[in-house]
Structure 1
Amino acid sequence: MPDVNETKAVELAKVLKEKQEAVNKAVDEVKGLGEELKGKLAKGDKVTEELKNDVDKLLTEVNGLKSQVHDMEQAQARNPVTPQGKQTLGSMVVKSEQFKSCANISKGDKLSVPINTKALGGPDYTDYSAGALVQPHVVSTVTLPEQRLMVRDLLTPGNTDSNMITVPREAVFKNNADATPEGWIKPESHLNFEQETVAVVTIAHWIKATRQILSDASGLQSMIDGRLRYGLKLKEEQQLLNGTGNGVEITGLIPNATKFKNESNVKEFTIIDQLRLAMLQVVLSGYSASGHILNPVQWAEIEMAKDDIGRYVIGNPQGRAIPTLWGQPVVATPSMKQGEFLTGAFKMGAQIFDRWEMSVNIAFNNDDDFIRNMVTILCEERLALAIYRKEAFVTGTLLGVQGVPPTPPNSETN
């Protein structure tokens, strides 16, 4: 149900609309009387006192209505309706009809809650935070800090109803397009595909909780959002980057990416330069790079880089915008090995296929749980990653100013 403030705001908007319509109607009447008055004066006719009074009365009414409309518009601007907070996975569970009916859950019963991912920010999961359990009043003139991007945000979303996906991977494209004189045979280009089958993988985990937490909606919501959902998406990110594709794991981006190669005549380059050269390598493969993935250590080093007089090259200590480099978003994640990078055409070169979007199941798991008043809360999803062209992704070790590989801990040179 809408709260009191929201109801008042809706009523204010309704009254404001009615007042504006009244102003428009009165203005039309004034215009009509004004035309009548102008016509009489043009003909030399006598203007009656009644007509003058009618005009004065309408003008007074219009001015009064306009003043009311102005005051109401100011009130509306000062007190905008607080936007409804984006739902989190936990809030969807505790507000669901399935959860509300679980008070009498008994041994052997299982509660399954369907999740509407569009309410979580759409299929691309633009917001992965646990979410505030108490939504603040938001003033429209204040810019809220952006949430950290994740690997999924860079990829094209999709859905599947199968447990296996056949991927048409582009192998060869020979472009023979050319200007052709009239009557001549048109040139033929060649586009060959290789088919690869990738498995839909299940990512899941569960925790134990007391039955009493089912009566504590806020506690259950924070547990699902802060632990289950976050942990699931963190593992998903690791798999999207590094999965081996052996049937149990996702086919990851890095194991299938092309190794970095300097295709330019530039011999000495910085880390920032190298990421631009990686974008060039993607472009030469026929695609356009749409993002970079780095370890947070390297991204911090890039943001803190300074010129000869101590000015930040790209960093802004007061900035809160989404990280970008060379016009493309940057995902800084611990799932990326320190000292390495991945640059690619994420939107065109790969796609996520969700088989099961995130779901939550609550049940007594065994006799011991039943007598101890313990429940099992399971969170899981099923998905696959299709990579359409390996050359659309470039990975490697970030090099130093002179092209000499650094030696960060736990890092190897490609």
Structure 2
Amino acid sequence: MFNALSNTARAEDRQMQRKERADDQIELKDVMAALSQRDQDIKTFAEKAGEEIKSHGKTLDETKTILDGLVKSGLGLQDRLNDVEQKLSRRGAANEEGEKSIGEQFTDGDDFKGLAEKGRGIARMRLKAVTSITSSTTGTGGVGVAIQPTRVPGVIAGPERPFTIRDLIMPGRTASNAIEYVRESGFQNMAAPVAEGAAKPQSDLSYELITTTVKTIAHWFRASKQVLADIPLLQSYINGRAIYGLKYVEENQILAGDGTGQNLLGLIPQATAFNNTLRKTGDTKIDVLRRAILQVRIAEYRASAIALNPIDWADMELAKDTTGSYIWVNVQDGGQPRMWRLPVIDTNAVPAGNFLVGAFNIAAQVFDREDANVEVSTEDADNFTKNMVTIRAEERLALAVYRPQSFVYGSFTAP
């Protein structure tokens, strides 16, 4: 009687486990479908982000917000997937033998039942020899192949620098491979009050012809067609990083290109050196910037922005008065990065300890010959025979600095 009740209880327990396992299988299917839909949504918006980068040079805020939301939702789905897989793993395999303990397998075996009925004989059960249970993938006790790693969805991107220098400069376009402009090289103003009938004074005005050539910035990646077909998000990701690579070098070139070879001649090499006679004893970094703005103003232009290194900007924001209060910033709400009414661009393209102040909006101009673009081709080397593709990103541009006196570059530290 006891054995019959025990067998009935075990049967009911196994039936309950099968029902729970079936429910887990349904939940697993739902989670996998949700993850598949999430991946499709990411692909759609990643492609949209690629188009926005081509059109606007960056991903629009709305698209970036949606992509961030999809990634976060994917993390939640991944947690649900892990929970379901762990529950299924605890419940064991689908066959009933996997659900029974060794004792249950022995008492339910034909040998044991025959022994119980006849009252004589030998009951045997053969079990596979198992060594120590480890996470190894080899040996009789290795279960490493059953351990599934947790895969974080998407691709973890590297750090990205926000690009703002080009936004300060007057834009332009060209259909040529060079830009020529006439720049005033000297002006001796001899204008003066003149008596009636007296000879008028002569002023001198001279010009020079400046030529700046269009430069190419480019790089490329190689990938297999199979990988790009199997991971649709990957090509959009590569395209985005390709454009980012161009913009990164572009900003460095606009600010600090030395003009040799295929380098642009940037703003810093053409800027006027800071006039150290304007310094006063005890000047802080904030004072030095105001005096640089004065130097631009003396040159009859008005500064429109300040570019400096993030380290120096942090020093200014952390400056305190004698009472320990911050001088320049309200810590609670921060605020727009501005100094002396001008926007501040903190970028690693400017060396620490130095600054650039200038009339970015009118004293220089960037000309685009070809906008940043990404092209994919199989017609490169042995790509066709190896099922590979080459992904190339390229842009062509020129930089014209009309009035070097309107850019002032110098060091915060007195020589």
Cα distance in 2 for partners of 1:284, 1:261 equals 11
Kept in 2, the 8 Å contact 1:163–1:200? The answer is yes
Kept in 2, the 8 Å contact 1:126–1:153? The answer is no
Unmatched segments (≥5 aa) in structure 2: 1-43, 71-160
Seen in structure 2, the aligned counterparts of structure 1 residues 153 and 184 have a Cα distance that, compared at 3 Å, is: farther
Query: Match for residue 406 of structure 2?
Result: 392
- Shift of residue 257, structure 1, vs aligned partner: 1.0
1:222 corresponds to 2:230:
no
Seen in structure 2, the aligned counterparts of structure 1 residues 209 and 269 have a Cα distance that, compared at 3 Å, is: same
Seen in structure 2, the aligned counterparts of structure 1 residues 186 and 244 have a Cα distance that, compared at 3 Å, is: same
Seen in structure 2, the aligned counterparts of structure 1 residues 173 and 133 have a Cα distance that, compared at 3 Å, is: farther
1:162 corresponds to 2:176:
yes
Cα distance in 2 for partners of 1:279, 1:381 equals 33
Q: TM-score, normalised by structure 2?
A: 0.59
1:270 corresponds to 2:284:
yes
- Shift of residue 195, structure 1, vs aligned partner: 1.1
Cα distance in 2 for partners of 1:289, 1:273 equals 15
Seen in structure 2, the aligned counterparts of structure 1 residues 352 and 368 have a Cα distance that, compared at 3 Å, is: same
Q: 161, 167, 173: which is aligned to 1:153? A: 167
- Shift of residue 371, structure 1, vs aligned partner: 3.9
Seen in structure 2, the aligned counterparts of structure 1 residues 182 and 336 have a Cα distance that, compared at 3 Å, is: same
Cα distance in 2 for partners of 1:192, 1:126 equals 46
- Shift of residue 152, structure 1, vs aligned partner: 0.6
1:90-115 alpha-carbon deviations (Å, 9 max, x no partner): 536569xxxxxxxxxxxxxxxxxxx8
Kept in 2, the 8 Å contact 1:200–1:355? The answer is yes
Residues 341-350 or 188-197, more deviating: 188-197
What RMSD in Å do the two structures reach over aligned CA positions? 3.6
Query: Match for residue 129 of structure 2?
Result: none
Residues 191-200 or 340-349, more deviating: 191-200
1:290-344 alpha-carbon deviations (Å, 9 max, x no partner): 1111111111111111222222222344446542111111111111112111111
Cα distance in 1 for partners of 2:392, 2:178 equals 24
Query: Match for residue 310 of structure 1?
Result: 324
- Shift of residue 182, structure 1, vs aligned partner: 11
Kept in 1, the 8 Å contact 2:180–2:212? The answer is yes
Unmatched segments (≥5 aa) in structure 1: 1-86, 96-114, 138-146, 406-414
Cα distance in 1 for partners of 2:404, 2:279 equals 24
Query: Match for residue 408 of structure 1?
Result: none
Cα distance in 1 for partners of 2:390, 2:303 equals 43
AA at the equivalent of 1:391: Q
- Shift of residue 352, structure 1, vs aligned partner: 0.5
1:324-380 alpha-carbon deviations (Å, 9 max, x no partner): 111111111111112111111111211101101111110125454334432111111
Kept in 2, the 8 Å contact 1:263–1:281? The answer is no
Query: Match for residue 260 of structure 1?
Result: 274
For the pair shown, the structure with the greater C-alpha radius of gyration is 2
Seen in structure 2, the aligned counterparts of structure 1 residues 176 and 327 have a Cα distance that, compared at 3 Å, is: farther
1:58-109 alpha-carbon deviations (Å, 9 max, x no partner): xxxxxxxxxxxxxxxxxxxxxxxxxxxxx999536569xxxxxxxxxxxxxx
AA at the equivalent of 2:299: S
Kept in 1, the 8 Å contact 2:268–2:356? The answer is yes
1:196 corresponds to 2:153:
no
Kept in 1, the 8 Å contact 2:180–2:211? The answer is yes
Seen in structure 2, the aligned counterparts of structure 1 residues 179 and 378 have a Cα distance that, compared at 3 Å, is: farther
Where do residues 358-377 of structure 1 align in structure 2 (5 Å cutoff)?
Answer: 358-366=372-380, 368-377=382-391
Query: Match for residue 255 of structure 2?
Result: 241
Query: Match for residue 295 of structure 1?
Result: 309
- Shift of residue 168, structure 1, vs aligned partner: 2.0
Kept in 2, the 8 Å contact 1:130–1:222? The answer is no
Identical positions, percent: 41
Query: Match for residue 13 of structure 2?
Result: none
Query: Match for residue 334 of structure 1?
Result: 348
**3-state SS in 2 of match to 1:283:** helix
Matched residue count: 281
Kept in 2, the 8 Å contact 1:176–1:187? The answer is yes
Seen in structure 2, the aligned counterparts of structure 1 residues 196 and 233 have a Cα distance that, compared at 3 Å, is: same
1:149-208 alpha-carbon deviations (Å, 9 max, x no partner): 521111111011111111322322445678999999998765432111111000011112
Query: Match for residue 362 of structure 2?
Result: 348
**3-state SS in 1 of match to 2:67:** coil
Seen in structure 2, the aligned counterparts of structure 1 residues 322 and 256 have a Cα distance that, compared at 3 Å, is: same
Kept in 1, the 8 Å contact 2:180–2:209? The answer is yes
Cα distance in 2 for partners of 1:389, 1:217 equals 48
Cα distance in 2 for partners of 1:127, 1:176 equals 54
1:91 corresponds to 2:24:
no
AA at the equivalent of 1:221: S
Seen in structure 2, the aligned counterparts of structure 1 residues 88 and 295 have a Cα distance that, compared at 3 Å, is: farther
